[in-house]
């Protein structure tokens, strides 16, 4: 099974142009010609996987500072998740993972599903997300599971060892990153492209797996990273990055 990722991956959909982690964001990315999207998945109180980034509601909804982990799906559904971004998106809702997968599949996109558990829910979030995926998703050459949580990644390894996993490296790499990557049997390294230095990329190049950089919106930075050997880019602005990296070839 060979991973067939694209060089440009729409971040949280296409987060510069539509509210992040929404169906509208996925539609927007597809309409722009993007072939892969990334989104973040966490659990409601009643264990339903939804698309959401933060642990609390206030940045991207009208729900105040409540923790997502304390809200049922019904409470999540009552929230409004668009007008913080632009009036034209007022009224849109937080989608379930199941709804989002239908849209991704409908557009024929590849997917990086990032498991983004609320604290203490690392295992159950991975289990619930993979359970839904296993019922809906067929094309495992175009699916990449990733997480900053090593527990979530280990759960993915245990539940679906033959699916592709991406090793998400934060700005500060864990000391044992090589051992972890080997144990988790990862297919890609997903690095913070705004913080990573060339020596780190060189270390990854030795391992001969694709390197993906998040979150790159600056064309100059994309060209530098591409010159170092980075293979793909998570970006909020897929059109800007597409122009940037095409000029290299």
Residues designated as active site: 11, 53
Check binding of 122 to ligand G3P (CB under 6 A): no
Query: What is the token pair recorded at 51?
Result: 């698309």
Check binding of 35 to Mg ion (CB under 5 A): no
Check binding of 40 to Mg ion (CB under 5 A): yes
Dihedral (C-alpha) 201, 159, 130, 169: value to the nearest 10 degrees? -20
Check binding of 114 to Mg ion (CB under 5 A): yes
CB of 74 to ligand G3P, least distance (A): 26
Pick from 24, 35, 114, 127 the residue near ligand G3P by CB under 6 A: 114
Check binding of 234 to ligand G3P (CB under 6 A): yes
CB of 192 to ligand G3P, least distance (A): 8
Closest residue (Cβ) to Mg ion?
Answer: 114
Cα–Cα distance, 62 to 1 (Å, whole number): 43
Nearer to ligand G3P, 55 or 75 (CB): 55
Nearer to ligand G3P, 38 or 154 (CB): 38
Check binding of 52 to ligand G3P (CB under 6 A): no
Cα–Cα distance, 203 to 205 (Å, whole number): 6
- The HSE-up count of residue 154 (CA atoms within 13 Å, CB side) is 8
| Contact indicator for 216, 229 with CB cutoff of 8 Å | no
Burial of 130 (0-12, 13-18, 19+ CB in 10 A): buried
Pick from 21, 61, 152, 190 the residue near ligand G3P by CB under 6 A: 190
Nearer to ligand G3P, 57 or 78 (CB): 57
What number of chain residues touch ligand G3P (CB under 6 A)? 11
Continuous H helices in 2-96: 23-31, 73-77
Secondary structure E strands in 96-139: 110-115
CB of 40 to Mg ion, least distance (A): 4
Check binding of 167 to ligand G3P (CB under 6 A): no
| Contact indicator for 93, 50 with CB cutoff of 8 Å | no
Q: Please name the residues in contact with 47: beta carbons below 8 A apart, sequence gap of 6 or more.
A: 124, 128
CB of 174 to ligand G3P, least distance (A): 16
Nearer to Mg ion, 184 or 205 (CB): 184
Query: What is the token pair recorded at 198?
Result: 């060339």
- What backbone torsions phi and psi does residue 76 show, to the nearest 5 degrees? -65, -40
| Contact indicator for 54, 61 with CB cutoff of 8 Å | no
Chain contacts with Mg ion (rule: CB under 5 A): 40, 114
Contact positions vs ligand G3P (CB under 6 A): 11, 38, 40, 53, 114, 146, 168, 190, 214-215, 234
């Amino acid at each position: 099974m060979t991973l067939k990722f694209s060089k440009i991956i729409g971040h949280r959909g296409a987060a510069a142009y539509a509210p992040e982690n929404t169906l509208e964001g996925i539609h927007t990315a597809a309409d722009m010609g993007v072939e892969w999207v990334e989104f973040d998945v966490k659990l409601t109180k009643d264990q339903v996987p939804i698309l959401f980034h933060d642990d609390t509601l206030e940045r991207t909804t009208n729900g105040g500072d409540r923790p997502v982990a304390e809200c049922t799906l019904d409470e999540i559904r009552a929230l409004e998740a668009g007008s913080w971004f632009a009036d034209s998106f007022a009224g849109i809702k937080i989608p379930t993972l199941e709804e989002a997968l239908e849209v991704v599949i409908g557009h024929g996109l590849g997917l990086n599903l990032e498991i983004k558990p609320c604290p203490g829910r690392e295992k159950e979030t991975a289990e619930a997300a993979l359970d839904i995926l296993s019922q809906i998703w067929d094309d495992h050459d175009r699916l990449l599971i990733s997480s900053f949580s090593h527990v979530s990644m280990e759960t993915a390894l245990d539940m679906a060892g033959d699916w592709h996993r991406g090793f998400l490296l934060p700005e500060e790499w864990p000391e044992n990153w090589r051992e972890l990557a080997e144990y988790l049997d990862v297919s890609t390294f997903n690095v913070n492209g705004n913080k990573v230095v060339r020596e780190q990329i060189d270390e990854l190049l030795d391992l001969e797996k694709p390197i993906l950089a998040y979150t790159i919106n600056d064309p100059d930075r994309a060209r530098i990273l591409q010159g170092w050997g980075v293979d793909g880019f998570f970006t909020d602005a897929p059109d800007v990055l597409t122009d940037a990296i095409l000029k290299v070839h």
